[in-house]
Structure 1
């Protein structure tokens, strides 16, 4: 579930594999540190806490996350993509969800 808390130092929303991201708008990635798509440009931030690992990625280099994946310690995982529409609206769409052990 998306909460009002933020990950210390990164300013990212706290999500879990059951989050809908329905009320979450654009998410700014201030200091990406990994190049996950291999194009030579850093595009992603990975955060670990006691319950999960979350990876936020900005593949179009506009400073906003386009994709997020969360993997929880119990094996639950989910992924979402951020979609912007010509009329100015936007939404996060779940693209994958499951459990790595099932």
Structure 2
């Protein structure tokens, strides 16, 4: 679930594979370090702790995360995409979820 705490140093929301992200708005990515789409531009930040790993990506290079994937230590995973609507609203849509062991 989304909590009020941030991951130290990265300023990213603390989410897990069961988070609905309904109350999460845009997430700024500061200083991405990986190039996940292979276009030569760094676009992603990866963070890991004892509970799992999250990967936040900004593929359109506007400074706002477009995609996030979480894989937890128990194998639960989920992915979301950030959508901006013409009327100015936005939302995170879950695109995948499950367990790596199933």
- Range class of TM-score, shorter chain: over 0.9
Structure 1 residues 22-101: aligned runs within 5 Å: 22-101=22-101
Deviation at 1:4, TM superposition (A): 0.4
Query: Whose strand fraction is larger, Structure 1's or Structure 2's?
Result: 1
- 1:7-62 Cα offsets, whole Å, 9 max, x none, are 00000000000000000000000110000000000000000011100000000000
In the alignment, what sits opposite 1:9? 9
- C-alpha displacement at 1:72, in angstroms? 0.3
Moved over 4 A (4+): none
Alignment coverage as a number of residue pairs: 102
Normalising by structure 2, what TM-score?
A: 1.00
Q: Distance in 1 between matches of 2:87 and 2:45?
A: 29
The CA RMSD over aligned residues, in Å, is 0.3
Q: Could you tell me how far apart the structure 1 residues matched to 2:48 and 2:28 are?
A: 18
